Structure 1
């Protein structure tokens, strides 16, 4: 893994997240410094090679009769690699940076997070709520909510997910395919 010098320390570059160590001394980090993703990166890499449905037609699950074992390591510069790394970088910034002006994955003045047709959240609102609360916010009736965003803070939501996923959430992008006609 490549390393870079940061204030006299050798810091390993993260191959899945951009902007992790750029301008680190000017960035306000939630826990005092940039996060280390070694554990979740290993989990991600171990989980990449799996038996997956061979997608004959991604619109019809009944056609997923065959399996293909292969590694989901995207070609450099592919839409899958760029998309996957953009999401991982954005999530890193949202979870670990405390000031929206330190974000480099979004334009804070134009950003709106819209999930399932809900009203969009600004960059500041999304940062205040935290990624989990912003993504899980729901208009469902109270009696159907198991996770209640209104009762969670940024920190309590992250505590809950760290407890549920102690090695991290090894998010990955599935291949983009075209529907066959």
Structure 2
């Protein structure tokens, strides 16, 4: 099972020169030069060409690219925009339209049922633009993703993933620490008969990401919430 390589980015499909010109992008065509180099330097596995693991990693990275950067759902090629739903930790599920209204990847990925006063990161108060700006500042080389292990073949793909980055920039008033921040989780992708994604479920502890940011010593006058502002 080979990952598609259409002459664009080697880890993602649909980024050919023609795609870059004809696709409606949220904020211009994405440039993965820096993050791909960072990924190659920090990944724990180099999956063989044609392997199931390579296929899944390519699919996940392409899907993430479309969800984050494409402005027109009709141009999504990895998923069925009419049937697609995305769930976090077995709680609420979001349609593609709802995902867009929430503000995209980080705001969906960091959903929580905690009271607002206990939220170190509050997805209800962040927009697509503010969330992207905040985490690009924290991780100037990116928050890389790799597939660590794949447990099942399509049409239902279950896999373990790893996100990582170095806090080389500030988060709001918290200064950079330069430390590695890692986040592990499980995901299930369900594909239809056309190999389009119709359902995604993520299971993770968002505290693995946010606790890493809290290691920075707060500036004077910055209060951090009591208790654990991550779970639930």
What TM-score, normalized to structure 1?
Answer: 0.73
Q: Structure 1 residue 103 and structure 2 residue 99: aligned?
A: no
Give the corresponding residue for 2:25. 29
Give the corresponding residue for 1:9. none
Q: Partner of 1:101: helix, strand, or coil?
A: helix
Q: Tell me: higher relative CO, structure 1 or 2? Use CA pairs within 8 A at least 6 residues apart.
A: 1
Q: Is the 8 A contact 1:17 1:86 kept in 2?
A: yes
Deviation at 1:76, TM superposition (A): 1.8
Q: Structure 1 residue 40 and structure 2 residue 35: aligned?
A: yes
Gaps of 5+ in 1: 5-11, 50-71
Aligned equivalents of 1:139, 1:79: Cα separation in 2: 35
What TM-score, normalized to structure 2?
Answer: 0.58
Deviation at 1:104, TM superposition (A): 0.8
Q: Is the 8 A contact 1:100 1:127 kept in 2?
A: no
Q: Which structure's CA Rg is the greater one?
A: 1
Q: Is the 8 A contact 2:47 2:54 kept in 1?
A: yes
Aligned equivalents of 2:118, 2:54: Cα separation in 1: 36
Q: Is the 8 A contact 1:20 1:89 kept in 2?
A: no
Summarize deviations over 1:10-58 as a string: whole Å, max 9, x none.
xx721111112364443211223x2110110000001125xxxxxxxxx
Aligned equivalents of 1:123, 1:74: Cα separation in 2: 30
Deviation at 1:75, TM superposition (A): 1.4
Give the corresponding residue for 1:112. 85
Q: Which has the larger helix fraction?
A: 1
For the aligned residue pairs, the C-alpha RMSD in angstroms reads: 2.2
Aligned equivalents of 1:134, 1:84: Cα separation in 2: 20
Q: Which has the larger strand fraction?
A: 2
Gaps of 5+ in 2: 1-5, 153-232
Which of 102, 108, 113 does residue 139 from structure 1 map onto?
113
Aligned residues: 146
Aligned equivalents of 1:13, 1:35: Cα separation in 2: 12
